[in-house]
Structure 1
């Protein structure tokens, strides 16, 4: 952020000086929550070196920043796509101004830079004193071509839409008279990687936060529930891996069962069964998908490095992220232990073992999974420990010092 600010102050438009922040992870990992928290992170949690001469001016601008959040998962759109961004930026200020303020904007289509120019005039504030934080969610909808194009005559493919949107955002970050910071969220690595290769735009990956014990007024939301052993509640929460969607579902199950059975004490195994049943409905996977997810899970345990071209059986990384609960941090896959329980509960149809061997080649991951299954509980503490490489925590020769 300091390099970005200094380049903006010096009127440098080099794409290597201005970052676009990105968050690329699977479903249920907290991307939208990160975008909601991002302005506060910039305003309150940036760490400045003691001799930073830009500290006060940066803090003042970030404190008064105009914040916009746009999602491409909605169907009601303007066209072209860059005009959608500019128009939504403008009308997100409707709660802060009287409607007569917006009636002056007669153009239906406007680029983000055009919208900021008009806002500068109406707010009577020079653009070189304006700070803007733009959060763009669900970019994968553009890349996959699922964006609603019914309002245009010549439908463009998903790749073209994605490239146009990213080009518009890059132009805004690199050349705007305002100090603009953009963060984008997506479940697709490939289009973002290809855009970065084409343009050499500086991209900074921002990982989602692990939501281990959600707190309200300093108290964990799970404190109102209990297990037969108090420590089991912590085990249950930790097995959710800090993934917001799984934790939300866990709380929903505990809350609903507590009200229906008029009790706040639960049995560990029964709660696990409830969570697994719910996620089997939410994340339906066929045979090849299950095989690929098991391979991905084994990659988590081996701490394998992954890239946008990595394959897991029949699926590439983007497809694995879309299937279930996975996130990528420091080029490695991360998942909750809950995913292991979900995969282990979805067994192959017994009739499949009678298929000719030649037709079972893509099902060989299941053999590896069975051999691994009985050992996993021992390795669990290593896989989710602080040390990334499990081999560093084994003793010499046959004497092993695994953490139980």
Structure 2
């Protein structure tokens, strides 16, 4: 038995349950619920929801084909092999689109979004079906940060080697099959570049354990408690604001890689990307100042509410905005939900990096990423 324990039988059983939902007339909600249990907040679940709408029932056979394709990959390659095949195919397609169309092309944006979606799937699978081992936590951290370069080049191949399931190049190429891009193609709506928030080249510095890079000389407070971690976060936010506003700061804050890594740890990967390297269509001096103002406001919130209270307030507000949009048309609602998805990603990554007790951090991140918001609020009320 290796450290990379995963409940494969449970995952396959859930695939069989989805395949067994033949009639949508009475099972549209069940289809959506079971898809979420298996795939989490991803395009796959969005596709299940879309298929369940009365006007889209003709898409049911395509959804079934997709489920069977995923199940076949898991049976042949194992769960981690399945994720490696999907992510490798997604990354190859993204790199091709980027090389051909550049960053501003809609195809590049959509391919990058798909890479993020596979990382989100990996996060959900490891959190919900993986044993709480050191190895799985490290793997989880890489998926949560969306660090696709390390995952594809080093991490997932190493997992396959340890499990005796190394994949041949021709197997990895199967991840580029159009069947796996079907949910994104069906759901393709207006391209909203304001949501282009993840790093485009995955060269952000991370530690070998997957956490955001932090040199020891940065630590000014005892981060073994939440109170100490809050003071450390306030210190880092203050120094990063200075570095971004003045363009100069004392070492090591004069290193852009350090600023980038700590912005990701304190505000989330997507937020840091949008601040430091926004999509060209939305990049402006006004945009930059808005994000710096967010940093200043963050310090005030943490001083008043602490780390957990600040994150809880952010999630509550985002959730409220999405709920108020429920009466809009389905495509508009899905855009709001996509924004909430990235907001949740950010919050979970911050919690994972800052809550001192790792099991607690993982549990809270799991509640957020599984959209169990009421349970999350209940758990954090006493913290």
TM range (shorter): under 0.3
Structure showing the higher helix proportion among its residues:
2
Return the index of the structure with the highest Cα Rg. Answer: 1
User: What TM-score, normalized by structure 2, do the two folds share?
Assistant: 0.27
Greater relative contact order structure (CA < 8 Å, 6+ sep): 1
Structure showing the higher strand proportion among its residues:
1
